[in-house]
Structure 1
Amino acid sequence: MFLKRITLQQETISSCQKYPFTIPAIKNLRELNITSNITFFAGENGSGKSTLLEAIAEKAGFNTAGGGRNNVYHVEAAESALADYIRLSWLPKVTNGFFLRAETFYQFASHIDEVEATHAYGGRSLHQQSHGESFLSLFQHRFHQKAIYLLDEPEAALSPQRQLAFMRVLHDLSTDGNSQFIIATHSPILLGYPDSDIFSFDNGEISKVNYEETDHYQITKSFLDNRERYLHELFKNEE
């Protein structure tokens, strides 16, 4: 592991009435200790998990539009609103890594074509592959050891089968301790990665939870076990 701790510098906050401190989990953050090479941020939309991940990316020196330190291009509204208020504690600090934003991946792929760097991604333009194929090409060809990877909803382009393939990538890179991943996700498949830490951003705070305690697991399992009942409740007014 490289990133050990994330601290919100409360003394630098002038007002909690402005974004991002209107997000309860962010406002109530004091110190978050990272103790696993694979860490997941989970929570509802708007709970703050992507906001914190983006701030970590900016403090680490990555392009907040998506990419590493050397990927220079701009996407509107990609700047972090939180980065100036957090402190990262490293041991040792690494400069290699990557920040993946699912919603700006198209712009990142265009940037790679413009700088003629497709050789680093399997030799094919990311635009000439399906969304899922291009994501896996990124993971398989761009991700190496001794680096930190910050991934915002990587499951967005991955089928369940490819999410399992991605879990193998996580395993291969992190087993010897030379790669660290922090992943914001809604995927009950990815959250099931063994021996990982899961931080929930729900209920107005950031707290470590077990896999089976996440809403993602509970709702998915309940739906699969009781599909007909769920569908009946959802559509009963149409009968």
Structure 2
Amino acid sequence: MKPTAPVEPPLFPFTLPAIRSLERLPLHPNVTFLVGENGSGKSTLLEAIAVGMGFNAEGGSRNFNFATRASHSELHAYLRLVRGVARPRDGYFLRAESFYNVSSEIERRGVQQFYGSRSLHEQSHGEAFLALFMNRFGREGFYVLDEPEAALSPQRQLALLSRLHDLVGEHSQFLIATHSPILMAYPNATIYECGEHGIREIAYEDTEHYRVTRDFLANPARMLKVLMGEE
């Protein structure tokens, strides 16, 4: 994937360093993570890739074409996506923030049987997310996930990792924007960090998510004292 010529004058999201400096972004054949602070551009870039691949901007598979509120950027029009020889048999775009709308569309279409045969609205947010992962995703797919950990407990995040690994073994590929140090620990994945420096590949142990979580769990009492101004 690499962008075409940038627009002039630069407008959002081309003002974001991660977007402005982007020239080429090779994806790992198994799992690629986009990480960074809120507002760094990781979800904007992920969304543009998903839309460029033909997915509905609010989420779902390629045959979902509803729009509750069109709010996605035009970045997808400036990207050139280069696929490998093998074409994915399946695909899905999950946006945590608009999953409720996707669940409603699933009910409207009457296709609950592909999601475990139980209404996603009649489950907790986390149960519905896991039902999607366990029932709808399959072999040889390309899956784009925006903050899938949003509704998942740590235990359910581990369950997602296990399911992700099973699907990787069935030749599926994942592109995931996340804040979860649990998910981004998936072995041999490529991690790209979006920030003021632009976008760069980074080792798991060098991510801020890992370092902050490690430091907090190593001594939560001391960290809380620092945060509360008691030290």
> Per the shorter chain, which TM-score range?
over 0.9
Q: Look up the match of 1:108.
A: 102
For residues 1-239 of structure 1, what are the structure 2 equivalents within 5 Å? 6-9=1-4, 11-16=5-10, 18-92=11-85, 93-94=87-88, 96-176=90-170, 178-236=171-229
**Contact 1:60–1:95 (8 Å) recurs in 2:** no
- Residue type at the aligned position of 1:168: S
Partner Cα distance (1:88, 1:76) in 2 = 25
Report if the CA contact (8 A) 1:75-1:104 is conserved: no
The gaps in structure 1 that reach 5 residues or longer are 1-5
**Identical counterparts, % of pairs:** 50
TM-score where L is the length of structure 2: 0.95
CA contact (8 A) 1:50 1:152 kept: yes
Query: What letter matches 2:221 in structure 1?
Result: E
Cα distance in structure 2, aligned partners of 1:117 and 1:35:
31
The offset of 1:203, in angstroms, is 3.3
Matched residues in 2 for 1:38 and 1:168: separation?
13
- Name which of structure 1's ranges 228-237 and 162-171 shifts more when overlaid on structure 2: 228-237
Deviation at 1:32, TM superposition (A): 1.0
User: Which portions of structure 1, spanning 4 or more consecutive aligned residues, are displaced by more than 3 angstroms?
Assistant: none
Deviations 1:157-202 (A, max 9, x none): 10000000000111000124x2100000000000111111111112
| Structure 1 counterpart of 2:9, one-letter code | S
Aligned partner letter, 2:129: F
**Size of the alignment, in residue pairs?**
230
Per the alignment, in what secondary structure is the counterpart of residue 25 of structure 2? strand
